[in-house]
Structure 1
Amino acid sequence: MCGIAGLFHPQTPKPVDPARVAAMADALAHRGPDGSGVWTAPGVGLGHRRLSIIDVEGSPQPMQTQDGALTVIFNGEIYNFAELRRELAGRGAHFRTQGDTEVLLHGWAAWGPALLDRLNGMFAFALYDARDQSLFLARDRMGVKPLHYVELSDGAIAFASELKGLLAHPLLRRTPDIRAVEDFLAFGYVPDDTCMVAGVKKLPAGHFLHLHRGRSMPRPQRWWDVDFSRRARGSARALEEELVHHLREAVRSRMVADVPVGAFLSGGVDSSAVVALMAEASPRAALTCTIGFDEAGHDERAHAALVAERFATEHRTRVVAADDFALIDTLVHAFDEPFADASALATYRVCELARETVTVALSGDGADEALAGYRRYRFHAAEERVRGLLPATMRESVFGTLGAAYPKADWAPRPLRAKTTLLALARGGGEAYARAVGVTTPELRAALFTPAARSALGGHRAEDRYVEAMRDAPAREPLDRAQYADFQHWLPGDILTKSDRTSMAVSLEAREPLLDHRLVEFSATLPASMRLRGGQGKWLMKKSLERYLPREILYRPKMGFVTPVSAWFRGALAGEAAALAGSRRLLDTGWFDPVVLRRLADEHRSGRAEHGRTLWQFLMLERSLGRLFG
């Protein structure tokens, strides 16, 4: 795992200052504390920070071919690099190192952009081809590894793994983009198709950008997409065996490293499956780690211990206090942009614990998206069945009227919270699902924004990207469409951003075997009934794992990392909630109505309403504005 940064002049090959490239790369030192390198030529400069995982003593970057025609910098891992090395050697390639980086150089020489289709891995890389003076930027299929880029005032294209790499360049104009604020308040993260700093872009997952000197700036090109429109054939038993095969291969391929490898173990299905398959593949005890909480309702240590004992892992735990909010400023620095998924605190702590003994840790991320594990998928599928029974006009009239009249009851047991469901049924499926994955509703955002801010948005609305993704999805059923939209937005914007930034903040490489593209592609072809059945998400995966894991692990209610932010704002952070309404950082933007902010804080602290997640968003936004714009 590494950090990459660089500059490319697409029109005139102006000199590139190595010190400027080094400064951009050094801003990413946490991603690569084991080494650094800078290479420049007329009109181009590449910088690298290295975390040594494979070929620890070799494979320095930037790396060139022997004739100097190709130069590459690379962040990530190519899990099938040994297979590709053999194929390329058979074509006459001569390798000077033992790692995976050199595969990119010889692979480009052999196949050009088609190289991407052959790669199984997580990656973001930049490759300069002196023969046609082009720069090729590419990002892996799922978006596990990030890549930001921007056009500077001198015409150069600057790029970096994280926004802070671009912030190190003096020509970057730091102007906030209010559309990103709208998106952040809607979802709790800044999606990959926008950025808090105006003009900065993120290369989308499964895309590449090919820049040629003397040509205009092209649009990113998609080179991979998940397809939910096809269906696998075969009996449940046969599909189960095929799924287990993909799971095994995904885990085994991600255990290859020249440094210690471990796993996060929450005691949930996904991480437990990874640990079970690690134990099966290794003659040595797997290294596992778990974060526990000092509140019983949030603590999964007992379940994790059960799995650790079953597979005889070397298991370590650490207890985190439920009021562990001292990490706020650490997270603001790690994420650059505001990020309000509060589980990032616990994720950071488990990465911190893992890094004490390993350099690589396998996680269980991705199965919920690939195999329909989230409860919201079940709700969406049920709502869509109801929508199919009535014309849209009747739905809007009947359910809209009932929803408007039904009292809001955040305090009530879930079956009695009918208002949200009724209003969802009155809307189209895409709109309803976009709201289901959101945090702060469009109505509350409209109340929070000033008239000037609403005007500046120019009609931009965060939910529209979900509506469009679901409408245009290569899909057959409503469940397919919801999963596809999450692959486009939620997975890279929230889940993988959280994993990348928290792990890299402590110089740990996190690998996601359950996002192996072969596993994802197969899962997308499963009939919906094998992903979601009888109210049980990940149905076929759980059935296939009965040979490995006890039922009390497989079929217990999903917990996940729960951070009690609502309680914090009625306790230790009550003062922070009250102060938000008077924050100069927020008010000086001219975006927010302080009266509405104060009302939210007062209602929440008194218990009259539930606004904990929105207040957490504003706290993280306030801190991030200070970091990004002063």
Structure 2
Amino acid sequence: MCGIAGIFQLASEGQPSEAVLAKMNNIQEHRGPDAGDYFFDPGVGLAHRRLSIIDLEGSPQPMLSADQRACIVFNGEIYNFKELHAELESKGYKFNTHGDTETILNAYLEWGEDCVQHLRGMFAFAIWDREKQKLFMARDRIGIKPFFYSLLPTGEFVFGSELKVLTEHPAFDRKLRDTTIEDYFTFGYVPEPYTVYQNSFKLSPGHTLTLEKGMRALPEPKQYWDIPTQWDADLSADEVQGELIERLKQAVDIRLVADVPLGAFLSGGVDSSGIVALMSQLQSDPVNTCAIGFDVKAFNETEFAQMVADRYHTNHRVETVQQTDFDLIDKLAFLYDEPYADSSAMPTYRVCELARKHVTVALSGDGGDELFAGYRRYKMHLHEEKIRNMLPLGLRKPIFGPLGRLYPKMDWAPKFLRAKTTFQSMAMDTVQGYHNSMSILRADERAKLFSKEFQSSLNGYNSLEVFNRYADKVKGLDPMKIAQYLDMKTYLVGDILTKVDRASMAHSLEVRVPILDHKFVEWAFKSPSDHNLHNGIGKYSFKKSLEPHLPHDVLYRKKMGFAVPLADWFKGPLKDRLYDGLLSKQMTESGYFSGKQLKRLIDDHVSGVRDNSAPLWTLMMFESFMRQQLGKAA
């Protein structure tokens, strides 16, 4: 696992500044503390920070191919590199190393841009083809590894593993993109392919980008893979339960190759517990596991993690996060480089910190909820869909539309009375309704929060467009698969994988994600929806398959999630910070917000009228971003 960076004189003359590239590369030293090096060619500079995992001494980067034709910088792991190595060697290619980096290089020389089709793993890389004078870049299918890029006003193309790599260039344009502010306050993150900055982008998962010297504008990236949305027939329940464990076990097994200590996260949830169970069956030594607990019982899952640790005799380590662990707030805003509002980033940061004390590589259970329908919102989505199927939109709009507008938001009330969001969603179609349910601040709440001037600057843009980009892909899917597909293209990559990448790399820890092995995803997404969500039980097919491997209490207990007690924090120890930060000049004079609504959100929460913890955390992280990232440039 590493950090990559580069400068390409795309539409300008001259040579990239070695000092600037070094500054860009060094800002991500945490991603690769073991080594850092550079490659320069006319008009091109490539940089790399290395965290040594495989072939510890023999695979320095940037790396030139044996024939000196191409040079690569690469972040990630290719799990089938040994098979590819043998195949390419049989075709006459020479290898000077025993790692996966040179395998990608030779795969490119053999298959060109189609080399990505042969790679199984997580990756983001750039290859400079000296013969063709082309820069070829690629990101893995699911988006486990990040790739940021921008075409600067100087005509230089810059890229890196983190957004802060780009912002270190003195010519980087820090103007914010208004539409991504709307997106952020809907989702709590900035969805692909955009960043919070006007002229920088994320290379979307499953895409490549090729540049040639002299281009005056950036071409559209090319998609080489997507989650399958059409197949001949659903898998049967028997097929799923008969094959799931063996297929997942293979995905786990190929991720156990490392020349450094390896372990796993063990939260006590189904997904991480399942991964630990399979690891224990695949290796003779006890698995190194780690868990984070809370000193607030309602948020503490360590007893369930301990059940799994005891069953498989793992080397288990637990640390407790104190309820007053507030020092991370500003640190997280720095790590994520753009507004990011998933509060579980705090315990994720701590569990990565704990893991790195003992291992360099950790396996995680991320992806199970999206792939097998584990989120509670899926159940609500299907209930709403049943009503949509009974009543046409022409009837639902006049019935539920007014109810959604007039019904009070009663967060303090019993769940069956909290119907405002449901009423709103019932007046919408499937995709719009799911978007409404997923929103941290719904459209009506964003309208109150944003200033009239900012709303005008959006020119009618609505964050629903993020989902509408995938409208053609989800046609023909059932409502459950629509929600799962949308989550895997947006929430999984923009929130979950982003959270884990930045938190783990802050501690120079590599995280591998077996459930998101693309071959496993291609197979598992065909699992029938009524078997994934069965009799109100989410991830039913996954849980049934794991019954021989995990305690019943771990499999079928109520889902807790990796949460922190925000509502209590904002009424107590963080109350003053809320008022000081959210009502600061930087926020009230930014032009984005209604100062009156900012104060109302805080007052209503502190007084107990409403639970505004989610929007308040979203605002707090935005304020920290503004103060640190934009204040630094002022």
Q: Distance in 2 between matches of 1:231 and 1:321?
A: 51
Letter in structure 2 aligned against 1:133:
Q
Q: Distance in 1 between matches of 2:420 and 2:78?
A: 48
Kept in 1, the 8 Å contact 2:12–2:154? The answer is no
Shift of residue 470 of structure 1? 4.4
Kept in 1, the 8 Å contact 2:235–2:528? The answer is no
Deviation string 1:519-567 (CA, Å, 9 cap, x unpaired) is 1111111111222111111111111111111211111111111111121
Letter in structure 1 aligned against 2:432:
E
Letter in structure 2 aligned against 1:82:
K
TM-score (norm. length: structure 1): 0.98
Paired residue for 2:606? 605
Q: Distance in 1 between matches of 2:345 and 2:391?
A: 41
Paired residue for 1:253? 254
Check if 1:615 corresponds to 2:616.
yes
Between 1:400-409 and 1:64-73, the stretch displaced more is: 400-409
Paired residue for 1:309? 310
SS at match of 1:558: coil
SS at match of 2:338: coil
Check if 1:481 corresponds to 2:482.
yes
Letter in structure 1 aligned against 2:46:
L
Check if 1:171 corresponds to 2:186.
no
Provide closer, same or farther for how the CA distance between residues 129 and 516 of structure 1 changes in structure 2, counting only shifts above 3 A: same
Kept in 2, the 8 Å contact 1:580–1:598? The answer is no
Written as runs of structure 1 = structure 2, the 5 A alignment for 1:151-550 is: 151-216=151-216, 217-230=218-231, 232=233, 235-470=236-471, 472-473=473-474, 475-550=476-551
Deviation string 1:86-133 (CA, Å, 9 cap, x unpaired) is 111111111110110001110001111111111111110000001110
Shift of residue 420 of structure 1? 2.2
Kept in 2, the 8 Å contact 1:361–1:508? The answer is yes
Letter in structure 1 aligned against 2:505:
M
Paired residue for 1:38? 38
Between 1:13-22 and 1:220-229, the stretch displaced more is: 13-22
Written as runs of structure 1 = structure 2, the 5 A alignment for 1:542-621 is: 542-621=543-622
Paired residue for 1:15? 15
Q: Distance in 2 between matches of 1:483 and 1:130?
A: 42
Paired residue for 1:132? 132
Kept in 2, the 8 Å contact 1:16–1:41? The answer is no
Between 1:95-104 and 1:192-201, the stretch displaced more is: 192-201
Deviation string 1:396-437 (CA, Å, 9 cap, x unpaired) is 122224444444321122223223222211211111111211
Paired residue for 1:122? 122
Letter in structure 1 aligned against 2:483:
A
Between 1:242-251 and 1:38-47, the stretch displaced more is: 242-251
Shift of residue 478 of structure 1? 0.8
SS at match of 1:53: coil
Letter in structure 1 aligned against 2:615:
T
Kept in 1, the 8 Å contact 2:235–2:527? The answer is no
Q: Distance in 1 between matches of 2:234 and 2:415?
A: 37
Kept in 2, the 8 Å contact 1:175–1:629? The answer is no
Shift of residue 234 of structure 1? 5.5
SS at match of 1:537: coil
Q: Distance in 2 between matches of 1:146 and 1:520?
A: 19
SS at match of 1:380: helix
Deviation string 1:53-107 (CA, Å, 9 cap, x unpaired) is 0001110000001222100000000011111111111111111101100011100
Letter in structure 1 aligned against 2:385:
E
Between 1:396-405 and 1:298-307, the stretch displaced more is: 396-405
Letter in structure 1 aligned against 2:310:
E
Paired residue for 2:87? 87
Letter in structure 1 aligned against 2:245:
V
Paired residue for 2:113? 113
Q: Distance in 1 between matches of 2:384 and 2:177?
A: 35
Kept in 1, the 8 Å contact 2:12–2:156? The answer is no
Unaligned runs of 5+ in 2: none
Between 1:530-539 and 1:153-162, the stretch displaced more is: 530-539
Q: Distance in 2 between matches of 1:389 and 1:323?
A: 49
Paired residue for 1:58? 58
Letter in structure 1 aligned against 2:350:
R
Paired residue for 1:67? 67
Unaligned runs of 5+ in 1: none
Deviation string 1:164-205 (CA, Å, 9 cap, x unpaired) is 101111111211222221111111111122211210111011
Deviation string 1:368-401 (CA, Å, 9 cap, x unpaired) is 1111111111111221121011111111122224
Kept in 2, the 8 Å contact 1:288–1:315? The answer is yes
Provide closer, same or farther for how the CA distance between residues 14 and 151 of structure 1 changes in structure 2, counting only shifts above 3 A: same
Q: Distance in 2 between matches of 1:68 and 1:579?
A: 57
Q: Distance in 1 between matches of 2:418 and 2:548?
A: 38
Kept in 1, the 8 Å contact 2:363–2:511? The answer is yes
Q: Distance in 2 between matches of 1:480 and 1:229?
A: 11
Shift of residue 468 of structure 1? 4.1
Q: Distance in 1 between matches of 2:630 and 2:563?
A: 31
TM-score (norm. length: structure 2): 0.97
Kept in 2, the 8 Å contact 1:470–1:484? The answer is no
SS at match of 2:25: helix
Letter in structure 2 aligned against 1:497:
T
Provide closer, same or farther for how the CA distance between residues 588 and 230 of structure 1 changes in structure 2, counting only shifts above 3 A: same
Paired residue for 2:626? 625
Kept in 2, the 8 Å contact 1:363–1:512? The answer is yes
Q: Which runs of 4+ in 1 moved over 6 A?
A: none
Q: Distance in 1 between matches of 2:163 and 2:215?
A: 26
Kept in 2, the 8 Å contact 1:585–1:626? The answer is yes
Kept in 2, the 8 Å contact 1:336–1:624? The answer is yes
Deviation string 1:120-148 (CA, Å, 9 cap, x unpaired) is 11110000001110001110001011111
Q: Distance in 2 between matches of 1:244 and 1:93?
A: 37
Kept in 1, the 8 Å contact 2:236–2:528? The answer is no
Q: Distance in 2 between matches of 1:364 and 1:413?
A: 32
Q: Distance in 1 between matches of 2:551 and 2:59?
A: 43
**How many residues were matched structurally?**
630
Letter in structure 1 aligned against 2:82:
A
Q: Distance in 2 between matches of 1:96 and 1:535?
A: 55
Kept in 1, the 8 Å contact 2:422–2:437? The answer is no
Shift of residue 237 of structure 1? 2.4
SS at match of 1:194: coil
Shift of residue 12 of structure 1? 4.8
Q: Identity over the aligned pairs, expressed in percent? A: 46
